Structure 1
Amino acid sequence: MMIYDLTILSLLPNTLGAVMPILPQTYRQFSSTGTPLGAFACEFGTLNRFAFLTAYETIEALMQERSRLMTEEDAYGVGQYLGGVTTTAFKPLAFAKPIVPGTYGPFYEFRTYSLAPFGLAETEAAWAKIIDRRNAMSPLLTNMASIEDGPQTMVHIWPYATIEARMAARAQASKEGIWPPPGGSGKLTNLQSELFVATAFSDLK
């Protein structure tokens, strides 16, 4: 099963002008053992943040990359502009299709849900029953659950060509009573939504 890493680079204020020319190179060299899939700038949410999505074929490949990051002084090439870095490993849920680079956006909604202990199975089962109908309204890029120590999170990413398309799809799903997935909220403890825009150099556009 593919493993996905989601790394968030948080920039210091007023550094975008200096960082933007560097980020294409950062993306191309983002991982020594994984495959970069996408790079996204936060449009609505906590600003000055870039999300990098990378695929790994094995846990061992991911651990090898993390070991490299621990030994390099400026692994991303933007160290002097960084205010913080978070990195989380995920496994896709059973119904999630493999992520294939392509043009789906440029808007990508990242929804992060915190799960109660042992809450993933119930949540995943509820989603699996309804996801095909929801995909017919607008396709899910992926839904994945964290495999790190600590409280588990679930991140699902939805691409949209326009903000209006997002609003229309969500309104239709709500009208038909399929969203949120019936029975899929009982184990959720916190919900967060942020809107990102694919960068010009991202493979996911």
Structure 2
Amino acid sequence: MIYDLTILSLLPNTLGAVMPVLPEAYASFSATGRPLGAFACEFGTLNRFAFLTAYEGVEAIAEERARLMTAEDPYKIGAHLACVTSTAFKPLSFAKPITPGTYGPFYEFRTYTLAPNGLAETEAAWAKIIDRRHEMSPLLTNMASIEEGPQRMVHIWPYQTIEARMAARAQASKEGIWPPPGGSGRLTNLQSELFVATSFSDLK
């Protein structure tokens, strides 16, 4: 399975025009992939939506990328877009398949940039503690980019409340499993953003 994370960045003061048509854009987002979730950024760079899509393999996502290159306005909100970024990811060995359901509505997207050849060491450290961390709050996925450029690892954590997030992270820190011991040595940049599932998202 390959996942695509597309970020739609809107021009200022365009939410009113975009929100009524965004559900349709999500439903028809990809010709070869399966929509999983649509999220609005709450804390981070605002006026951004994250669309998460599943593909059976690299051939399917390549076909979709080719379609987008020739489409004039593939998302039907082109007049309101500031920019679009898409990145393909492969789930790490311990990541379970993403199953649509109600886990949020808050989703923390944590993006770590890895040093060259740093994924294996980082993944091994995470694998040792992830089961226990998952018991404290579920991990939706942890995935590594397969595009050119610096490799990024994105892990997504759903929470029912902000208080639940704080409690889970505090407990993990108290037990000494967070950050994962030995899992930070190959990281070069860390970023966290909080998204909220939209009403039409398959991941709630």
TM-score normalised over the length of structure 1: 0.99
Alignment of 1:178-193 (within 5 A): 178-193=177-192
Question: Aligned residue for 1:46?
Answer: 45
Q: In structure 2, what is the Cα distance between the partners aligned to 1:58 and 1:177?
A: 37
Q: In structure 1, what is the Cα distance between the partners aligned to 2:175 and 2:86?
A: 36
Q: In structure 2, what is the Cα distance between the partners aligned to 1:48 and 1:122?
A: 35
Q: In structure 1, what is the Cα distance between the partners aligned to 2:173 and 2:149?
A: 32
Question: Aligned residue for 1:27?
Answer: 26
Question: Aligned residue for 2:71?
Answer: 72
Q: In structure 2, what is the Cα distance between the partners aligned to 1:30 and 1:134?
A: 33
- Deviation of 1:3 (Å): 0.1
Question: Aligned residue for 1:134?
Answer: 133
Question: Aligned residue for 1:202?
Answer: 201
Amino acid at match of 1:196: F
Q: In structure 2, what is the Cα distance between the partners aligned to 1:141 and 1:198?
A: 13
Q: How many percent identity over aligned positions?
A: 84
Question: Aligned residue for 1:156?
Answer: 155
Q: Flag structure 2 segments of 5+ consecutive residues without an equivalent.
A: none
Matched, 1:122 2:121: yes
Question: Aligned residue for 1:172?
Answer: 171
- Root-mean-square deviation (CA, aligned residues, Å) is 0.3
Amino acid at match of 1:142: T
- Deviation of 1:84 (Å): 0.4
- Deviation of 1:58 (Å): 1.1
Question: Aligned residue for 1:107?
Answer: 106
Amino acid at match of 1:73: E
Amino acid at match of 2:96: K
Which secondary structure does the structure 2 equivalent of 1:204 belong to? coil
TM-score normalised over the length of structure 2: 1.00
Which secondary structure does the structure 2 equivalent of 1:172 belong to? helix
Q: In structure 2, what is the Cα distance between the partners aligned to 1:168 and 1:129?
A: 21
Q: In structure 1, what is the Cα distance between the partners aligned to 2:75 and 2:25?
A: 6
Number of equivalenced pairs: 204
Which secondary structure does the structure 2 equivalent of 1:128 belong to? helix
Question: Aligned residue for 1:97?
Answer: 96
Question: Aligned residue for 2:6?
Answer: 7
Q: In structure 2, what is the Cα distance between the partners aligned to 1:70 and 1:107?
A: 32
Which secondary structure does the structure 2 equivalent of 1:182 belong to? coil
- Deviation of 1:113 (Å): 0.1
1:126-181 CA distances to partner (integer Å, 9 max, x unpaired)? 00000000001001000000000111000000000000000000000001110000
Which secondary structure does the structure 2 equivalent of 1:133 belong to? helix
Amino acid at match of 2:141: T
- Deviation of 1:71 (Å): 0.3
Q: In structure 1, what is the Cα distance between the partners aligned to 2:28 and 2:16?
A: 20
